[in-house]
Amino acid sequence: MLRDEFDFIKKIRPKYSYQSSLIQGIGDDAAIYCNEPMFDELICMDTMVEGVHFTRQTMTPWMIGFKALAVNISDIAAMGGIPTYYLVSIAIPEEWTEEELTQIYAGMSDLGSKYSMDLIGGDTVSSKKGLIITVTVLGKVEKGTSLLRSNAKPGDLVFVVGDLGASAAGLDLLLSTGLNHPYTEYEKHLLKAHQEPIPQVEAGRILACSGLNISLNDISDGLASETNELAEASSVDLHIEFEKVPRNIYLNAYPIEKQKQWCLFGGEDYQLVGTMSEAGFKQLSPILSEKNIKLTVIGEVTEGSGNVYLYENKHKEKLLKKGFNHFDKGE
Amino acid sequence: MLRDEFDFIKKIRPKYSYQSSLIQGIGDDAAIYCNEPMFDELICMDTMVEGVHFTRQTMTPWMIGFKALAVNISDIAAMGGIPTYYLVSIAIPEEWTEEELTQIYAGMSDLGSKYSMDLIGGDTVSSKKGLIITVTVLGKVEKGTSLLRSNAKPGDLVFVVGDLGASAAGLDLLLSTGLNHPYTEYEKHLLKAHQEPIPQVEAGRILACSGLNISLNDISDGLASETNELAEASSVDLHIEFEKVPRNIYLNAYPIEKQKQWCLFGGEDYQLVGTMSEAGFKQLSPILSEKNIKLTVIGEVTEGSGNVYLYENKHKEKLLKKGFNHFDKGE
């Protein structure tokens, strides 16, 4: 009745790294690391499932690894934190080759090294169907800092860091014509936004270190969903002008209705949305601009009861929270 | 092509708890918590896959949750640490009901509350086939403590905390006759060892706080595998007398060859194995005994090159590391 673990799973068991002097020891099962009294600790954990969050038709193994780590780093960025370490648990079906699994870890390692992050643990198991990858990311942020969702105040401006819609547009292309279609250079920018999102760590750090009262969310589930979360958590209303929402430049070739859908509901852009005072905006705008980080005011905060309103051509509508979209059940 | 997430997955999104005054804030995506300068941090992450590590024929949903957390706490126990927080990422196939998922979280919560552990984050996603549950556990241990595998020294004694074999025996019963068979009271003890293992946190704490030079491993993959890990990591040889290996009392009804198989290679007992000096043993033995924790010397350490030898009836054989056994591919 019993069988041994796949041999190849044992082989690809990741090599844990040990570059930080704060790491005291790493076993197969647990890691021990020094904390730093001036910092609070951050932790987050996200899972990507084959056939739900990605397929082999939309992502190469390297991209799967890259993105699995990126979406977690984005959670740390939304707290204004410095990502420090990561752990990876991967459940592997038989049909994935050792080379593909090596590529998954290479994708994580290539992104992680940008932030000097050590891989300090995890687990490697077999799966009955579909690859499932769960990443835990640790981070740190200066004590006293908090960019909580509940920080939005009436009178604040609503801002977006970066621009929106490219990831969903890229996914649309991938679902229509797959990974290996001869895409134009324009289209490749959209694909890359979906496959290799770059978390806004530097912007998060600048916002956190400003000492300003800022509410912040990363945009994983679409602007509509994330702004509703801010409004609810802060018990205020948010008023957003669609014309001000920063749309990715490569969306220009597409009908405005598509652009709107992608920007508001598409998700997976991993940019930031938040609120701060007008004085704060004036203070931070040149600092972010100097770092080539795009900061755009898209609306304002009023007293209210947790609603978001969208204004377009003088028409006002309630912007509803929409769930994250998953792949269809058929692959 | 796109579809919304299952509604019930959204519903069972776990309620994160907030009992510790060290928790500064919890979002859906990341938690922030205070560190303590006198402690080092511990972290570990383990995954259980339906059809690989459990089936519905061997475990109830409550037990699946309980055990998923227990195996991670056991990793913290093996570092001598205090478990503090946990995060849970769960990938759920359509056929699991909301009630079953609630039971999984209840199993974790019931065990976690024994250690005053807060659930501070995680992820909830859909799976194409099979339930996959990944748990990250944080812990802490006094700075300067280290119960590393590489600590074994020639002249040390090899010891086991607790007794062995019951989990594998219980699994054998479950695989033969399923969850709902009318088991005897004796058999129920074996089942429980497999379904609801209790990690040796208290013993780990006593070993850690002793200040002694101790190597330590939890027994997740069987005594043979874990002792080989200690021998390899410390570059010594371990000599184990099978007659001294503490066998669970409820194994007595079974043939000795079965008992041997279960104790040495069965795994999932989540007891502890390690090495310490004879003087250390004399010091700790009464302390553990007072707490009703069973501590047994099973052999000794000599200079060597990472091998483990088993002695039985004056016969000596090399004890080989064997992989953890998984369920057969058919459920």
Out of B30, B141, B220, the one facing A75 most closely (by C-beta) is: B30
The more confidently predicted of residues A143 and B247 is B247
Tally of residues, chain B: 331
Q: Tell which B residues from 185 to 214 touch A, by Cβ distance under 8 Å.
A: none
Are B102 and B59 contacting, i.e. CB atoms less than 8 angstroms apart? no
Residue A229 to residue A125: CA distance in whole angstroms: 35
Query: Touching check for B149 and chain A: CB below 8 Å?
Result: yes
**Chain A residue with Cα closest to B220:** A29
**DSSP 3-state of B271:** coil
Mean pLDDT of A96-111: 93
What per-residue confidence (pLDDT) applies to B9?
56
Buried b (16+ CB within 10 A) or exposed e, A274-289: bbbbeebbeebeeebe
Distance CA B260, CA B256 (A): 6
Do the chains contact at A25 and B146, CB–CB below 8 Å? yes
Out of A316-325, B4-13, B26-35, B267-276, which region has the weakest mean confidence (pLDDT)?
A: B4-13
Residues 46-75 of B with CB under 8 A from A: 46-53, 75
Minimal Cα distance from A45: which residue of B?
Answer: B122
Q: What is the pLDDT of residue A118?
A: 87
Is A130 marked as binding a ligand?
A: no
Residue B324: pLDDT over 90: no
Q: How far is A314 from chain B (nearest CA, A)?
A: 31
Q: Cα-flanking dihedrals φ and ψ of residue A57, to 5°?
A: -85, -10
pLDDT, residue B16, reads 67
Contact B127, B52 (CB under 8 A): no
Mean pLDDT, range A110-134, rounded to an integer: 92
B293: left (phi over 0), alpha (psi -120 to 50) or beta: beta
Average pLDDT over residues A230-258: 96
Q: Dihedral sign, CA of A223, A46, B87, B233?
A: negative
pLDDT of residue A24: 67
Give the C-alpha separation, A199 to A204, whole Å.
9
Contact B40, B143 (CB under 8 A): yes
Give the E-state strand segments of B57-114 in sequence order. 82-92
Give B-chain residues touching A325 at CB under 8 angstroms. 2-4
Over range B133-160, report the average pLDDT: 93
CA–CA distance, A32 with B141 (Å, rounded to integer): 9
Domain boundaries, chain A: 7-142, 149-318
Residue-wise pLDDT tens digits, B193-223? 999 999 999 999 999 999 999 999 999 989 9
Tell me the C-alpha distance between A104 and A59, whole Å. 11
Non-local (6+) Cβ contacts of A264 within 8 A are A222, A223, A224, A242, A245, A310, A319
The answer to whether residue B323 scores a pLDDT higher than 50 is no
For residue B54, what are the CA distances in angstroms to A327, B59, B260?
Answer: 27, 7, 23
Helix (H, G, I), strand (E, B), or coil: what is residue A131? coil
Q: Which pLDDT band, with edges at 50, 70 and 90, does B66 fall under?
A: very high
What's at B22, amino acid-wise?
A: L
Question: Would you say B40 and B141 are in contact if contact means Cβ atoms under 8 Å apart?
Answer: yes
Rounded distance between C-alpha atoms, residue A121 and residue A88, angstroms:
7
| Residues B40, A34: C-beta atoms closer than 8 Å | yes
pLDDT of B1 > 50? The answer is no
Average of per-residue pLDDT values in chain A: 89
Q: Is the pLDDT of residue B312 over 50?
A: yes
Q: Please, which pLDDT band fits residue A257 given cuts at 50, 70 and 90?
A: very high
Nearby residues of A110 by Cβ (< 8 Å), 6 or more positions away: A62, A66
Q: Say how far apart CA B66 and CA B11 lie, in whole Å.
A: 21
Name which of A46-50, B116-120, B303-307 the model is least confident about.
B116-120
- Say whether B30 and A78 touch across the interface (CB within 8 A): yes
Instruction: Please state the separation of Cα A231 from the chain's center in Å.
Output: 20
ipTM value > 0.95: no
Cβ distance A5 to B326 less than 8 Å, yes or no, reads yes
In Å, how far is A76's CA from the nearest CA of chain B? 7
Which of A215-229, B36-50, B149-163 is predicted with the least confidence, judged by mean pLDDT? Answer: B36-50
- What phi and psi values does residue A172 have, to the nearest 5 degrees? -55, -45
Residue A8 above 80 pLDDT?
no
Using CA atoms, how far apart are residues A14 and A89, in angstroms rounded to an integer?
10
Q: Do A134 and B89 touch (CB under 8 A)?
A: yes
* Residue A176: alpha-carbon gap to chain centroid: 24
Write out the H or E segment, with its range, that includes residue B123: strand B118-126
For residue B330, pLDDT beyond 50: no
Give every CB contact of residue A75 below 8 A, 6+ residues apart in sequence.
A44, A46, A137, A218, B27, B29, B30
Q: Calculate the alpha carbon distances from A308 to A167, A231, A236, A271, A311 in Å.
A: 23, 7, 9, 19, 10
What's the pLDDT score for residue A14?
60
- For A191, phi then psi, to 5°, come to -55, -45
By DSSP bridging, strand A236-241 and strand A295-303 are antiparallel
Mean pLDDT of chain B: 89
CB A309 within 8 A of CB A238: yes
Going by pLDDT thresholds of 50, 70 and 90, the confidence category of residue A144 is: confident
User: Do B43 and A30 lie within an 8 Å CB cutoff?
Assistant: yes
Tell me, what's the pLDDT at A322? 72
Residue B45 has pLDDT above 50, yes or no: yes
CA proximity to A307, closest of A319, A298, A324: A319
Which of B129, B138, B325 lies nearest to residue A130, judging by beta carbons?
A: B129
Q: Could you report the per-residue pLDDT of A273-307, keeping only the tens digit for each? A: 999 999 999 999 999 999 999 999 999 999 999 99
pLDDT above 50: residue A325: no
Give the span between the Cα atoms of B115 and B130, in whole angstroms: 29
Same fold, B7-142 and B149-318: no
pLDDT at site A12: 59
Rounded Cα distance between A172 and A183, Å, is 13
Kindly indicate the confidence band of residue A323, based on its pLDDT and cuts at 50, 70 and 90.
Answer: very low
Element (H, E) at B208: helix B201-209
Q: CA-CA distance, A4 to A126, in Å (whole number)?
A: 10
With tokens 């309103």, the residue in question is A309
* pLDDT value at B331 more than 50: no
Q: Residue B270 has what pLDDT?
A: 97
Q: In whole angstroms, give the CA distance from residue A149 to residue A306.
A: 12
Contact B301, B227 (CB under 8 A): no
- Which pLDDT belongs to residue B2? 31
Task: Please determine, looking at this structure, whether the domain spanning A149-318 carries the CATH number 3.90.650.10.
Answer: yes
**pLDDT, tens digit, 9 for 90 and up, residues A153-185:** 999 999 999 999 999 999 999 999 999 999 999
A1 touching B, CB under 8 A? yes
Q: Do A123 and B36 touch (CB under 8 A)?
A: no
Q: Which residues of B touch A4 (CB under 8 A)?
A: 323, 325-326
Of B61-75, B123-137, B236-250, the one with minimum mean pLDDT is B123-137
In 3D space, the residue among B72, B58, B318, B319 whose CA is nearest the CA of residue B168 turns out to be: B58
* Between A118 and A184, residue with greater pLDDT: A184
- Check: CB of residue A47 under 8 Å from CB of residue A111: no
Q: Per-residue pLDDT for A17 more than 70?
A: no
For A7-142, CATH gives 3.30.1330.10
Check: CB of residue B127 under 8 Å from CB of residue A130: yes
Q: Is B296 on the interface with A (CB under 8 A)?
A: no
Q: How confident is the model at residue B107 (pLDDT cuts 50, 70, 90)?
A: very high
pLDDT at B111 over 60: yes
Least confident of A121-135, A263-277, B193-207: A121-135
Burial environment of residue B46 by CB neighbours within 10 A (0 to 12, 13 to 18, 19 or more) = buried
Backbone φ and ψ for A89, nearest 5 degrees, come out as -115, 130
**Rounded mean pLDDT of B56-81?**
95
Instruction: Tell me which residue of A93, A92, A106, A97 sits closest to A64, measured CA to CA.
Output: A106
